[in-house]
Amino acid sequence: MGEDGKSTGGKYVEPGGDFNRDQNYITTRITVDGRDGYPVEPGRYRLAVSRACPWANRLIIVRRLLGLEDAISMAVAGPTHDARSWTFDLDPDGRDPVLGIERLQEAYFARYPDYPRGITVPAIVDVPTGQVVTNDYAQMSLDLSTEWTAYHRAGAPQLYPEHLRAEIDKVNAVVFADVNNGVYRCGFAGSQAAYDKAYHRLFDRLDWLGERLTGQRYLVGDTITEADVRLFTTLVRFDPVYHGHFKCNRQKLSEMPVLWAYARDLFQTPGLGDTIDFDHIKRHYYEVHRDINPAGVVPLGPDLSNWLTPHDRDTLGGRPFGDGTPPAPHTPLP
């Protein structure tokens, strides 16, 4: 929270100009044994997201790939927000129909009346009490894979298989630092030196990822894992937002052949591309970040029809869902 009570989403710029992300989360976990007071229980929890947000997008994808739609319902906030953060303005009367609230802030304050940090998505809310359980997005998606197994659909893929966890964790750590958060570090840099450093760090890592993905279809092993989901939600925002708005402009994604084909392959895989709403994505960043885009003008481009062009990544082998199956077509999200 900023000094004026404005939610900052846990972001601030240090005196030297470096962007810093507040990584203190509500770390309560929903587990099979309920050790934090919140046992896995179908129908009890509601996942609050915005389709604009890359961190929330991961949860939307993982929930869908694992077939947890009936076990965990979803509240979808609109793409933009004001100083008090996310609102349920897509719902007919501006209220989430299950939680009965207009703002996600209400669920945070129900748990912690003086909650001092950003009101962020994704968050999981305990429906009976209306309280936020967790906003720890990284742990949340791993827990959907490992704690909610009893409610996975038949044919759900293994997104965090035990034998690959160490490697997935390693890749996730560098992808978070240099790419997922790296684009923000470029966009919110408060000095030339901080921007230069962030830019090189981002593109060096993208080069590294491009090399890694030249001979293999997915980041770890031969199936889609949590690591691919995390990289995908940043890549899909690259050309419409990060290239311009965040000045990540050495190349567009569509000018980096390997990463571009990799991203298109994932985009065209059921459960990934069908969660993407480019309009929400663009409106969120360009309208909300008035500090770096004061007029709030949303660019009309780029032309995004290129996402559906052939990628030829299947020639590398790989089995997107391993021994599992793709998710069924879904009801479109709001």
Ligand X SMILES: N[C@@H](CCC(=O)N[C@@H](CS)C(=O)NCC(=O)O)C(=O)O
Residues designated catalytic: 53, 184
Range in contact with ligand X (rule: CB under 6 A) among 119-127, 155-163, 166-174, 186-194:
119-127
Contact stretch for ligand X (CB under 6 A) within 4-12, 211-219, 274-282, 302-310: 4-12
Distance in Å from the first CA to the final CA of the chain: 28
The CA angle 232-245-262, to the nearest 5 degrees, is 20
- Helix axis angle, 165-175 relative to 192-212, nearest 10°? 150
Asked whether 44 and 124 are in contact (CB, 8 A), the reply is no
> What 3-state class would DSSP assign to 19?
strand
Q: Using the rule CB under 6 A, which residue among 9, 187, 322, 327 binds ligand X?
A: 9
78: contact with ligand X by CB under 6 A: no
Least distance (Å) from ligand X to the CB of residue 6?
A: 8
Q: How far is the CB of 185 from ligand X (least distance, A)?
A: 12
CB of residue 38 vs ligand X: minimum separation in angstroms? 19
Contact residue for ligand X among 45, 55, 246, 307 (CB under 6 A): 55
Distance CA 109, CA 208 (A): 42
Cite the beta strand spans of the chain per DSSP E: 11-13, 19-21, 45-50, 73-77, 81-82, 85-86, 123-126, 131-134
Residue whose pair of structure tokens reads 């921007």 in the numeric block:
195
Parallel, antiparallel or unpaired: strands 45-50 and 73-77: parallel
**Binding to ligand X, residues 122-151 (CB under 6 A):** 135, 137
Give Cα separations from 40 to 5, 81, 82, 100, 294 (angstroms). 34, 31, 33, 22, 44
- State yes or no: 260 annotated in a binding site: no
> Taking CB under 6 A as the rule, which mask of x and - marks residues 220-239 in contact with ligand X?
--------------------
Question: Closest CB to ligand X among 21 and 197?
Answer: 21
Place of tokens 């998505």: 121
Q: Which of residues 12-51 bind ligand X (CB under 6 A)?
A: 21, 23
The region of 2-10, 152-160, 170-178, 321-329 touching ligand X under the rule CB under 6 A is 2-10
Residue 268 CB coordination number (10 Å): 16
Q: In the set 28, 105, 120, 134, which binds ligand X (CB under 6 A)?
A: 120
Q: Which of 329, 328, 232 is nearest to 276 (CA)?
A: 232
Window 238 to 297, contacts with ligand X (CB under 6 A): none
Residue 35 CB: number of other CB atoms within 10 A? 10
Q: Which one of 91-99, 114-122, 224-232, 297-305 is the stretch in contact with ligand X (CB under 6 A)?
A: 114-122
Task: Decide whether 54 or 327 has the Cβ nearer to ligand X.
Answer: 54
**Interface size with ligand X, residues (CB under 6 A):** 16
R_g (Cα) of the chain, nearest Å: 19
Q: Which residue is nearest to ligand X (CB)?
A: 9
**Minimum separation from the CB atom of position 33 to ligand X (A):** 26
CB closer to ligand X out of 256 and 276: 276
**Per rule CB under 6 A, is residue 182 in the interface with ligand X?**
no
7 binds ligand X (CB under 6 A): yes
Residue carrying structure tokens 């793709």 = 326
What residue numbers does the annotated binding site cover? 86
Please state the residue numbers annotated as binding site for glutathione.
86
Residues that bind ligand X (CB under 6 A): 7-10, 21, 23, 53, 55, 81, 85, 118-121, 135, 137
